[in-house]
Structure 1
Amino acid sequence: MPPGGYAWWYVDALSDDGTHGLTVIAFVGSVFSPYYAWARGRGRAEPENHVALNVALYGPRARWTMTERGRAALARDATSWRVGRSSLAWDGAALTIAIDEIAVPLPRRVRGVVRVLPAALPASPFVLDPGRRHVWTPLAPHARVEVAMREPALLWSGHGYLDSNAGAEPLEDGFRFWTWSRATIGSGTGVLYDVERRDGSALSLALLFRPDGRIEEREAPPPARLPGTLWRVPRPTRADAGTDPRLVRTLEDAPFYARSDVASRLWGKEARGVHEALALDRFRQAWVKLLLPFRMPRRG
């Protein structure tokens, strides 16, 4: 991974009863880290000196944690990743995430185990820019996720999703804005990806992932819009003509980023899943980076 580069592994899930949700993101070269951005501004910035596990629990007993650590806290190989007391391990059939973190802003423990059980592993990478510096890989778009937390006490399961992104330059150098969403559609998972590149060009992906691993390229539904956030981050999306997507709840509302639980209609079927909007022009602003240490402390 070159200086200034990044990689992350992303998991999300919504419980079968619709009450709970979670995201877990393991970062090497934490793309939203103010410390990493400041290090790049001072010169050479090593990705492995900016690592973190972001855990967000939604619903009753919500928690948020994202403590950044330096290279001494990181250990990884082909099948495992560890930072501090938390780890990810792949055994060929399931991804097991052992979480032991401290939440912010209230310092409460976040401990437990999340297991991701893929239906299939298509693992087909998609290049997001002409220079091939940013790549998205949907590792297991269709999966079951089991959540067993000790602190806070939570036990649930639901439909989940696993992917990975990697880049050879800072994310904000390649893009101005992007939206991404994944939704359960019948027995499959639909993914919509729209990016506005820094050079003014755009990319739109509309994909349906079958449980057996088949990937179908679909025609992108017409543009639609969800309400803006309290931070005035727009939430454009797509939905079948003549239908309106419904914001079930806002999961994250940050100055440059929004994550939402959304119900919609795609390709003639009801769809329910997770939507993200990322405003990288906003992230570039100095005042935004000054706010982030309150949610992203650094240790070591």
Structure 2
Amino acid sequence: MFSPWYAWSGRRDPADNCCINVATYGPGGRFTMTDRGRDALRTTRDTLQVGPSRMHWDGRSLVIDIDEVSGLPVISRVRGTIKVTPRAITGVELPLAADGGHVWRPFAPVSDITVALEAKGWHWSGHGYFDANFGTRALEEDFDFWTWGRFPTSAGATCFYDAVRRDGSRFDTAIAFAPDGSARSAIAPPRTAFKRSLWQVKRETRSDPGTVPRQVLGMLDAPFYSRSAVRTRLNGETVTGVHEALDLARYRNPLVKAMLAFRVPRRRGWAEPGASR
């Protein structure tokens, strides 16, 4: 949804602008997001392949085989396997627009993950998560700004979605997930602002009164987007989770899309290794 090439194409053929985006953080972190043409796309009931990388559901885990090249500022191979094993699969779908034009689908909000990439320090296991967004329109058509956060808790995980639509209306929701995948609406503490990102993207999330959230790990900074690990306090419990802030008013700016193209190269053609064309 953040491919400038897809936007410039008039959004006519999403299959012609596909990618598997990989980001690693910390020392030696890499970012890969290669926009590929429809020749690179292969799908079956259990497998999504885009060029040399693929995701496959084996009945118990989502196995993600990565073979990509990172973009600027450090160009190198990013290879290896990531496995996400859900504790449970939810049936939750949350419409973000009244007409269903945007939907959030948290498939597995409580999961286990193992990462084995071919680089020093890129092997670990821990707490994981898997969700998806679906839409029939561009996000910037309907929204000006949103924040999202997922915070592991002693009872499972809590997700917050807070958005400002272009008509000025707000969308605020909080959902608590148990390890068995069951979900319930949660009472959200107040929305609380905290320090802006390096690109001065506004940031806020939920926190108990008297607590100011703070970033404990920077993950991804862009002129319109921030992803970070944030520590806050929810209903008396100190938690650390992944937080995103998205400024879609900025993303509508054609200059921002042109800047993004340097991080998202376009590769139109693709052939399986050994195949003749």
Relative to the length of structure 2, the TM-score reads 0.93
1:85 matched to 2:52: yes
Q: What is the CA-CA distance between 1:296 and the residue it aligns to?
A: 0.5
1:100 pairs with 67, 86, 92, which one?
67
Q: How many residues align?
A: 267
Counterpart in the other structure of 2:36: 69
Counterpart in the other structure of 2:136: 168
**AA matched with 1:92:** G
Counterpart in the other structure of 2:181: 213
**AA matched with 2:223:** P
Indicate the structure with greater strand content. Answer: 1
Work out the CA distance in 2 between the residues paired with 1:187 and 1:117. 19
SS of the residue corresponding to residue 58 of structure 1 reads coil
Write the mapping of 1:246-257 to structure 2, written as runs, cut at 5 A.
246-257=214-225
Give CA deviations for 1:250-287 in whole Å, capped at 9, x if unaligned: 21110000001111111221211100000111001011
Q: What is the CA-CA distance between 1:153 and the residue it aligns to?
A: 5.6
Work out the CA distance in 1 between the residues paired with 2:27 and 2:82. 17
Work out the CA distance in 2 between the residues paired with 1:154 and 1:247. 22
Q: What is the CA-CA distance between 1:96 and the residue it aligns to?
A: 0.4
CA RMSD in angstroms, aligned pairs only: 1.2
Work out the CA distance in 2 between the residues paired with 1:278 and 1:75. 30
The answer (yes or no) to whether the contact 1:109–1:152 under 8 Å persists in 2 is no
Same amino acid, percent of matched pairs: 46
Q: What is the CA-CA distance between 1:160 and the residue it aligns to?
A: 1.1
Give CA deviations for 1:206-234 in whole Å, capped at 9, x if unaligned: 11100011112111210111211121110
The answer (yes or no) to whether the contact 2:207–2:233 under 8 Å persists in 1 is yes
Q: What is the CA-CA distance between 1:152 and the residue it aligns to?
A: 5.3
Work out the CA distance in 2 between the residues paired with 1:92 and 1:129. 32
Counterpart in the other structure of 1:14: none
**AA matched with 1:99:** I
Work out the CA distance in 2 between the residues paired with 1:225 and 1:81. 38
Q: Which one has the largest radius of gyration?
A: 2
The answer (yes or no) to whether the contact 1:88–1:97 under 8 Å persists in 2 is yes
**AA matched with 2:126:** G
Q: What is the CA-CA distance between 1:184 and the residue it aligns to?
A: 0.8
SS of the residue corresponding to residue 110 of structure 1 reads strand
Q: Which runs of 5+ in 2 are unaligned?
A: 269-277
Work out the CA distance in 1 between the residues paired with 2:184 and 2:12. 39
SS of the residue corresponding to residue 204 of structure 1 reads strand
Counterpart in the other structure of 1:191: 159
The answer (yes or no) to whether the contact 1:123–1:140 under 8 Å persists in 2 is no
1:273 matched to 2:273: no
- Tell me whether 79-88 or 267-276 shows the greater mean CA deviation: 267-276
Q: Which runs of 5+ in 1 are unaligned?
A: 1-30
1:291 pairs with 227, 252, 259, which one?
259
Work out the CA distance in 2 between the residues paired with 1:292 and 1:115. 29
Q: What is the CA-CA distance between 1:150 and the residue it aligns to?
A: 1.3
Counterpart in the other structure of 1:157: 125
SS of the residue corresponding to residue 231 of structure 1 reads coil
Work out the CA distance in 2 between the residues paired with 1:235 and 1:196. 13
Q: What is the CA-CA distance between 1:249 and the residue it aligns to?
A: 2.0
1:56 matched to 2:26: no
Q: What is the CA-CA distance between 1:187 and the residue it aligns to?
A: 3.7
The answer (yes or no) to whether the contact 1:95–1:116 under 8 Å persists in 2 is yes
Work out the CA distance in 1 between the residues paired with 2:41 and 2:121. 27
The answer (yes or no) to whether the contact 1:181–1:275 under 8 Å persists in 2 is yes
SS of the residue corresponding to residue 19 of structure 2 reads strand
**AA matched with 2:257:** K
Counterpart in the other structure of 1:35: 5
Work out the CA distance in 2 between the residues paired with 1:55 and 1:273. 19
SS of the residue corresponding to residue 112 of structure 2 reads strand
Work out the CA distance in 2 between the residues paired with 1:250 and 1:256. 15
